Structure 1
Amino acid sequence: MDAAPERPPTRPSEATMRRRAAAMRAATLRREFDAFARDGPTHDLRTPLLGACEDGAEDAARVILELGAAVDERDEKGTTALMTAAAWGHAGVCRLLLERGADVNARDDGGDTALHEAVRADADEVVIALCEWPGCDVDAKNKHGCAPLHVASHAGNGAMTKLLIRLGACVNREMNGGYSALHVAAANGSSSSLSALLEGGANIRHSASESNLHRTASGTALELAEANGQREAAAMLRNASDLEFQRSGLFRD
């Protein structure tokens, strides 16, 4: 009697293959973490956790934290894991770190927070996640006195400026020298940011106290726009000022 033909090996299910891949990745991460604990950072100064945060590898970051990595681990410039994830726009990793106890208001050597980094990266989802986290200081200042709203205004990012105001940023927060975000947007001719700030109730009449913003003299946002040759910005501010006077009744008969 002929022998029965051999049956081909059964292919593992997709779920089994995913579990095996996850186990292999976890083993690799454990080796990397053990090497870091023994030898210190790699040549690029990235720890396993900071590397995972930069890459947006949420599962890897979770494993590394479970292996014992400090959630507020920093690089040589004081940048935390949360700041790294925020700077690269990885909202999922940011939420993971916050849930594991990351300090939402931690500052690097320049005084920036994760929110400053997220605003620079134009990462809306990260900005929302950070601002809605309990205790987040939406108006935190760095060593230059810049709050996240100043950063958005300087970049001319009207959408981000509007988002920060909606999330509770103080529209008249002053940086060093008494400059508000309106001054910053005016000096740079950032029309979209100016529009968002004016809609948000920025104080048009506020006068800065120092003369170190670009090549301007101290004064109101309108005076700074005119001094910097920002004609469109100056026209917007002039119109807004006229409307404010009209609303106050100063032009009534």
Structure 2
Amino acid sequence: MPRYRHFKSYAALLQELAAPQECFSPLGIDPSTLSDTPLPALFRANRPGRLQLFYQVDGPNAHVYVLDEKGSLFHQVVAFHDALTLLTQFQRFLNKIQERMNFLVQEAGKGEFNVAAIDYYQIHHRHGAEPRLEPQNISPFKQSRSYFGVQVIGDMMDNNRSVFTMYCNEQEFSTLEYGERLFEEVARYILSKRASGQTYPIYITDIDLARNLLGVDTAQELQTIHFLNYKKRIEQRLNDALAKL
């Protein structure tokens, strides 16, 4: 039986939609609401067992939406340079997460974690018109392009203190060494390696977190949204530190 919920703001709605789910559950949006957003079109296109990435260019930024295999919705506003740069960095991350989740599920003896495909779309939305989802050909985004790898490994200590180790092109930075200055030191190192010296955003290319950091007890509870939400949090801290340098 359909259930209805009311949210005080669009931000509160997005936060709720980013929550993990026990299983895929179709979401319908009242056609008389949210007509100025792409959400109705995204959820009409939603399919179980697939990752679907949508982006909408908004001046110098892009709104990125990812519907994961259980229908949880991730949203992030990122700086936009070109489609190749944007989709390549998300493609690398999503592929790594699929590999990691498949390993964890197999290690637990629970079969395999299977995502049928990763679909990419650009959102075109003119005022007063229905949003149009344009499929993006994946082949151009597989082109080899040099990039700065940033891997995050996180664990929870016995005293409920989170500990992180970050690898920036094999250079190691750890909470145990830098403490509260970890994000500042990582941002400083990355900035020093940029020939232009520009403070454009830092993006994480891989993340490996203990289940207790992600708030789950078993590998079967994991879904892509857990990793995307944490990716967003870490990137925010890195880019806040970068802005202060």
Query: Which TM-score band applies after superposition, normalised by the shorter structure?
Result: under 0.3
More strand by share: 2
Work out which of the two has the higher radius of gyration on C-alpha atoms and give 1 or 2.
1
Greater relative CO (CA pairs within 8 A, separation 6+): 2
Q: TM-score, normalised by structure 1?
A: 0.26
